[in-house]
Chains A and B, each alone.
Chain A
Amino acid sequence: DQQVKQNSPSLSVQEGRISILNCDYTNSMFDYFLWYKKYPAEGPTFLISISSIKDKNEDGRFTVFLNKSAKHLSLHIVPSQPGDSAVYFCAASVRGDYKLSFGAGTTVTVRA
């Protein structure tokens, strides 16, 4: 049973507009959340993360929001660029645990 869920398999957005990717989790013990980005034929690369003691973390065009009561997080990309076209994975971990649990991924396509 997947503990991290990304219910939107794909997202298409126009260049310059905002991309919003959503992620839900079921394990209340998760306390650290991450987003990874993956291009075809490459491994995932770390993008941004957030600890459960925060509700927002920003890094350039990327912002992650965490709503602990709803067990929901989202990734905002503003503005979206063609190079952002990739698969985005949401991941989570329990404090002190080495392992990450991943969602199924959302494929983002940025249209020119």
Chain B
Amino acid sequence: NAGVTQTPKFQVLKTGQSMTLQCAQDMNHNSMYWYRQDPGMGLRLIYYSASEGTTDKGEVPNGYNVSRLNKREFSLRLESAAPSQTSVYFCASSEAGHNYGYTFGSGTRLTVV
């Protein structure tokens, strides 16, 4: 029972490079989310997808794009990485309207040099 799977677990990028963080869930959840965790800031919402086919900006969307590829997969893309995007990124999923049921992936630690 995998839950939410994120790849890769670690990544080092040079400033200006691009990359896509992958996320897949096997719980048939409708809603998916991308958060970043920074020291002293907690978890901040980047983008979310309430249901397949929809995406919306969260609190800190600048510099990111997302794709809800299907019900299972929700990817996060950095088009031109900046050192300020060094962070730990978490993907999560939940049933629609059940915001207490977030299931998180184990995170991607991204360093931009």
Task: Tell me which residues across on chain A come within 8 A of B94, comparing CB atoms.
Answer: 98
A104-B106 CB under 8 A given contacts A32-B99, A97-B99, A98-B94: no
CB of A41 closer than 8 Å to a CB of B: yes
Task: Tell me which residues across on chain A come within 8 A of B102, comparing CB atoms.
Answer: 36, 44, 46, 100
State the majority secondary structure of interface residues on A.
loop
CB of B33 closer than 8 Å to a CB of A: yes
Contact of A93 among B35, B90, B99 (CB under 8 A): B99
A46 contacts B100, CB within 8 Å? yes
Task: Tell me which residues across on chain B come within 8 A of A100, comparing CB atoms.
Answer: 43, 45, 99, 102
Chain B 56-96, CB within 8 Å of chain A: the 1/0 string?
A: 00100000000000000000000000000000001010101
B40 contacts A104, CB within 8 Å? yes
Q: Which residues of B contact A (CB under 8 A)?
A: 4, 31, 33, 35, 40-45, 48, 50, 58, 90, 92, 94, 96-97, 99-107
Q: Which residues of A contact B (CB under 8 A)?
A: 2, 4, 6, 9, 32, 34, 36, 41-46, 49, 89, 91, 93, 96-105
